[in-house]
Chain A
Amino acid sequence: MNRIWIVMLCAMAGNIQPAYAYTIYVSNEKDNTISVIDGDSLEVTDTIEVGERPRGIVLSNDGKYLYICASDDDHIEVLDLQSKQVIYNLPSGPDPELMSLSADGSLLFVANEDDNMVTVIDTVQRSKLVEIPVGIEPEGIGLSPDGKWLVSTSETTNMAHFIDTASLKIIDNVLVDARPRVAQYTPDGKEVWVSSEIGGTVSIIDAASREIKHKIEFAVAGLRPESIQPVGIKIAADGSNKAYIALGPSARVAVVDTTSYAVEKYLLVGPRVWNLEFSPDQKRLFTTNGVGGDVSVIDLQKQKVLKSIKVGRLPWGIAVNP
């Protein structure tokens, strides 16, 4: 009898928090803060002060810590999400911008925009493992799903470098259009999508042959082509065959079919849309709108923008904690 009561109590306690409660973290580049957004109410619940010019953010695998590229402080900050305190810094080399965490959480791969390096950080030893020289202005960092490959982009060299994560050596370089920003593997690991901000395209690179098999171009009626500047890329892993591409100053997110590469729709979000992240169930997509100063919430089933949430100034990076 007592046991049943306990079970019931636990069930009730469980009901107080919805089953799919999740949290969205947004770095505000200008305010030096992280906005915390509740996934249910879609309200900002907290704003945490961090180091100078926070840009790329990544969650630890256990969801307890947030790694933050504090670009102007030249290190990665580790934010304890429970205490909301930065508990220590990782040595990243100058001007860290974007990063990826290895599947086992032991390595952080960081692009040092000012230093022409990709820095590999041992997150356990909290030390710099190696620096890999790449092209000028490294930016995007994309890990293959099997963790064997790292693709890094160089904005001024206009290349995607394919790095073997075992040897930490560059194996190949692929020339893409001007100012490549984000590199993202498809969930099956067969393709790498690279956005070119100034070129205005997304190159689809065949991961095995490392040849460009397609280039996606964009056009929005009534908008000058210069304003269409692809940056963030997210490719759905829910079988919907859709990818989402943030188009910068045009304030649009393009919805792309991943089999035909056709652009199906442009969703209006906010100006200078930078980066994107899915909700854990992949039913929603969140966008950071830099100049807009807000986060747009997109309902992916209806393909509609639900709401925009005011955050700090110049929101940039985004991470979702399930």
Chain B
Amino acid sequence: MKPLSLIQSICAIVALLVSAASIAQTKLEVDIVYLGRQTQTLKPLSLLDTEVENNGISGSMLGLNDTQTTGSFLNHIYRMEQVIVEPTADLVSTYRNLVAAGKKLFIADLDAADIESIAALDQDVLIFSIRAKDDILRNQKCHPDVFHLPPSRSMLADAVVQYLVWKRWNKVVLVTGRHAGDRAYATALKRAAGRFGLKIVQEKNWTAVPGARRTDSGHHSLQQEIPVFTQFKDHDVLLVADEQDEFGEYLSYRTTRARPVAGTQGLQPTSWHRTQEQWGATQIQRRFAKLANRWMTELDYSAWAAVRSFGEAVTNTGSNEPEVLREYLLSKRFKLAGFKGAPLTFRNWNGQLRQPILVVGPRMLVTVSPQAGFLHQHSELDTLGFDKPESSCQGF
């Protein structure tokens, strides 16, 4: 044989395509809509973090590329359309038009209120929610059409609290920010503390409205303010609930006592992080960076997992009908390879993606929950968040 030639490479590519066609089943077209609402992107508090462009959308694009390779061997053609409405636009009518145009598979990059409003129309659809972490959407307000890709706040809180319990850092204090999301996060932390035996010795709210994020000589005032604010009873860890990154980053190294910070800043529970390269994740991190020229966020990961889940269901059922896909997704046959060590599956009582949670420091993965010793009769992953007997979701 002769050394590598371009022609041989081209032949090989053609061969791949030809052979793909030769095993072709019936052609199947799969239309996915990425439905979002424009939001104001927050300026991160740390200068090391940059504002993220196409957050979520890039993840879905990678998911589409990954899925299309299998699809091309099976003659399944995937298409994705992005529909991003204005901040104050009437989402419901947009959604109604899309459904009327025959769209059935949605990736919803929307907050809880928007998810509720479109789900309420009870259409023949599948909605994969990729942004909202609200527990209420998975409990009282669950809906049979809506699957939840990101972990709920309670899953995140359980993940970090399990680790603190494993470390026997049993006494904590809690600082909660001024937004509803912060309060929901704090509620999840309190629930986790109660479940796993962590003692919250003191709580405080951070009510200050943030000023300019980037000021000259800002550290002088913080060095004075934070020690005053953090005069707590003795504790092992300071928990913080600040989802919008308004103040949590200021706490580390400035607290009265030398204590680590955990929660939305410091040691963070998250579905995805750049420092995760175990279980073959090196490849998806590199593929993503090549595609988007930035790191993959939690939202990108949920969007990727959403498209991959649709793809797995289509590949294995040969259908693009919501009802058929839904049944497959909730069956034991569905196992998504999500680069987190365990197969990802959906909880059949509320459509939540069952998944390990990464617990990360600012520059390194620290651990992955569930922690050893937190047992469960079916799946240890169900020690995270609302388990079946605890869930108030009816009629999923």
Binding site for B on A (CB under 8 A): 95, 113-114, 122, 125, 127-137, 154-159, 167-173, 175, 177-179, 197-200, 224-227, 249
Q: Which residues of A contact B73 (CB under 8 A)?
A: 135, 157, 159, 173, 175
* Contact of A159 (CB < 8 Å), options: B4, B70, B342: B70
Highest count of chain B CB atoms <10 Å: which of A128, A135, A154: A135
Kindly state the separation between the CA atoms of A277 and B337 in the bound complex, as whole angstroms.
27
Q: Which residues of A contact B284 (CB under 8 A)?
A: 156
Residue of B nearest to A201 (CB): B335
CB distance from B197 to the nearest CB of A (A): 23
What is the interface of chain B mostly: helix, strand, loop, or mixed? helix
CB distance from B316 to the nearest CB of A (A): 8
Taking CB atoms and an 8 Å cut-off, the chain B residues in 42-74 that contact chain A are: 66, 69-70, 73-74
Kindly state the separation between the CA atoms of A249 and B279 in the bound complex, as whole angstroms.
11
Q: A157 to B12, Cβ gap below 8 A?
A: no
Residue B286 lies at the interface, judged by CB distance under 8 Å to chain A: yes
* Contact of A127 (CB < 8 Å), options: B3, B70, B315, B343: B3
Contacts between the two chains (Cβ within 8 Å), count: 110
Q: B12 to A169, Cβ gap below 8 A?
A: yes
CB distance from B338 to the nearest CB of A (A): 8
Q: Which residues of B contact A122 (CB under 8 A)?
A: 1, 3
Q: A158 to B70, Cβ gap below 8 A?
A: yes
CB distance from B131 to the nearest CB of A (A): 24
Q: Which residues of A contact B343 (CB under 8 A)?
A: 178, 198-200, 226
Q: A114 to B286, Cβ gap below 8 A?
A: yes
* Contact of A175 (CB < 8 Å), options: B66, B70, B336: B70
Task: Answer whether A224 and B19 are a contact pair too, CB < 8 Å, given A155-B280, A175-B70.
Answer: no
Task: Answer whether A136 and B337 are a contact pair too, CB < 8 Å, given A130-B12, A169-B19, A226-B342.
Answer: no
Q: Which residues of A contact B66 (CB under 8 A)?
A: 136, 156-157
CB distance from B23 to the nearest CB of A (A): 6
* Chain B window 313-333, contacts with chain A (Cβ cutoff 8 Å), 1 for yes, 0 for no: 001000000000000000000
Q: Which residues of A contact B20 (CB under 8 A)?
A: 173
CB distance from A101 to the nearest CB of B (A): 16
Taking CB atoms and an 8 Å cut-off, the chain B residues in 1-52 that contact chain A are: 1-4, 8-9, 11-13, 15-16, 19-20, 22-23
Residue of A nearest to B332 (CB): A225
Kindly state the separation between the CA atoms of A136 and B22 in the bound complex, as whole angstroms.
20
* Chain B window 379-393, contacts with chain A (Cβ cutoff 8 Å), 1 for yes, 0 for no: 111000000000000
Task: Answer whether A172 and B19 are a contact pair too, CB < 8 Å, given A129-B1, A156-B69.
Answer: yes
Residue B202 lies at the interface, judged by CB distance under 8 Å to chain A: no
Kindly state the separation between the CA atoms of A264 and B315 in the bound complex, as whole angstroms.
32
Q: A169 to B11, Cβ gap below 8 A?
A: yes
Task: Answer whether A135 and B283 are a contact pair too, CB < 8 Å, given A129-B3, A200-B343, A226-B379.
Answer: no
Residue B312 lies at the interface, judged by CB distance under 8 Å to chain A: yes
Q: B312 to A178, Cβ gap below 8 A?
A: yes
* Contact of A170 (CB < 8 Å), options: B16, B312, B381: B16
Q: Which residues of A contact B282 (CB under 8 A)?
A: 95, 114
CB distance from A149 to the nearest CB of B (A): 14
